[in-house]
Amino acid sequence: MALDSQTVYRIARLARIDIVDSEVKRYASELSSILEFVEQMNKVNTEHIAPLSHPQDRTLRLREDTVSEGNLREKLQAGAPAAENGLYLVPKVIE
């Protein structure tokens, strides 16, 4: 299935990836060819097949809801692009 440029912009927006006009054509053609390739999946009827999300069909383990690490705030924020007084700084969200 061929994607139009409007759809490419929509996907890019959903994925939070900025794309420029000069890239749209290439993305449209590459993504379309990948989607066309995966269309092969429809050769097989899977109507009564249950989806498999874990290779061994195992259920994920739950753990006790307890604190396992101490307060590592400073350590974890040491690599942040912008942090101050224990807070991550981002552009203003509320006017």
Partner 1 sequence: MHSKTIKQLSADLHRGSFSSVELTQCYLDRIDRNQKLNAFITVDPEVSLTQARAADELLKKSDGTLLTGIPLAHKDIFCTEGMLTTCGSKMLHNFIAPYSATLIENCQQAGMVCLGKTNMDEFAMGSSNETSYYGPVKNPWNEKMVPGGSSGGSAAAVSARLAPAGTGTDTGGSIRQPAALCGITGLKPTYGRVSRYGMVAFASSLDQAGTLTQTAEDAALLMNVIAGFDTKDSTSVDEPVPDYLHGLSNDLDGLRVGLPKQFFDDGLHSDVAKIVAEALKLFEKQGATLIDIDLPNSDLCVPCYYVIAPSEASSNLSRFDGVRYGHRSESYQDLVDMYMKTRAEGFGVEVKRRIMIGTYALSAGYYDAYYLKAQKLRRLITQDFDQAFEQVDVIMGPTTPTPAFELGAKTEDPIAMYLNDIYTISVNLSGLPGISIPAGFAQGLPVGLQIIGPYFTEGKLLNIAHRFQMETDWHKKIPRGFD
Query: What is d(CA 79, CA 86) in angstroms, rounded to the nearest whole number?
Result: 12
The residue assigned the tokens 């939070």 is 16
* By CB under 8 A, residue 28 contacts partner 1: no
C-alpha dihedral (32, 33, 34, 37), degrees to nearest 10: 120
**Considering the complex, what minimum distance in angstroms separates the CB of residue 91 from partner 1?**
5
**Considering the complex, what minimum distance in angstroms separates the CB of residue 22 from partner 1?**
13
Query: What is d(CA 31, CA 1) in angstroms, rounded to the nearest whole number?
Result: 9
**Considering the complex, what minimum distance in angstroms separates the CB of residue 76 from partner 1?**
6
3-state DSSP assignment of residue 23:
helix
Among 42, 66, 71, 85, binds partner 1 (CB under 8 A): 42
Which chain residues interact with partner 1 by CB under 8 A? 3, 8, 11-19, 27, 30-31, 33-35, 37-44, 46, 49-56, 58, 60-61, 63, 72, 75-82, 88, 90-93
